[in-house]
Amino acid sequence: MLKRKIYIILNLIFATAITANAQIEKWQTGIVKQEFLYDQAPFPSCHSATIAETPTGLVASFFGGTKERNPDVEIYISRFVNGKWLAPVSVANGIQPEGKRLPTWNPVLYQVPGGELILFYKIGPKPSEWWGLMKTSEDGGVTWSEATKLPDGSIGPVKNKPVLLSNGNLFAPSSREGDGWKIHFEVTNDNGKTWRTIGPLNENGIKAIQPSILKHRNGKLQILARTANRAIAESWSDDNGETWSPMTKTTLPNNNSGTDAVTMIDGRHVLVYNHVLPSGTLAKGARTPLNVSVSKDGKEWSAALILEDSPISQYSYPAVIQTSDGMLHFIYTWRRQKIKHVVVDPAKLKLKKIKNGIWPKLKGYTAPVITETKSEEP
- Asked if pLDDT for residue 362 goes beyond 80, the answer is no
∠ Cα 62 109 126 (to 5°): 50
Whether residue 174 lies inside any domain: the answer is yes
Which three-class secondary structure state does DSSP give residue 38? coil
- Domain hosting residue 293, numbered range: 31-354
Least confident residue range of 268-277, 303-312, 350-359, 366-375: 366-375
- Assess whether pLDDT exceeds 80 at residue 23: no
Residue 173 lies in a domain: yes
Rounded to two decimals, what is the model's pTM? 0.92
| Mean model confidence pLDDT for the chain | 92
Neighbouring-strand partners of residue 233 = 225, 249
Interval 94-122 mean pLDDT:
97
Residues in contact with 362: Cβ distance below 8 Å, sequence separation at least 6, in sequence order:
26, 27, 303, 306, 352
pLDDT of 2 above 80? no
* Cα dihedral 278, 282, 285, 291 sign: positive
**10 pLDDT exceeds 70?**
no
Q: Is residue 303 part of a domain?
A: yes
pLDDT, tens digit, 9 for 90 and up, residues 126-142? 999 999 999 999 999 99
Band of the pLDDT at 377, cuts 50, 70, 90?
A: low
Sign of CA dihedral 261, 265, 266, 267: positive
Report if residue 368 sits inside a domain. no
SS3 2: helix
User: CATH number, domain at 217?
Assistant: 2.120.10.10
Domain count, the chain: 1
Q: Between these two residues, 155 and 21, which has the higher pLDDT value?
A: 155
Query: Is residue 76 domain-resident?
Result: yes
Q: Is 341 exposed, middle or buried (0-12, 13-18, 19+ CB in 10 A)?
A: buried
Residue 9 lies in a domain: no
Q: What is the pLDDT of residue 373?
A: 47
The more confident residue out of 371 and 243 is: 243
Contact 101, 71 (CB under 8 A): yes
Residue 133 forms part of a structural domain = yes
Percent of the chain with pLDDT over 90: 86
What is the reported pLDDT for 107?
A: 98
Residue 299, in any domain of the structure: yes
Average pLDDT value for residue range 291-298 = 98
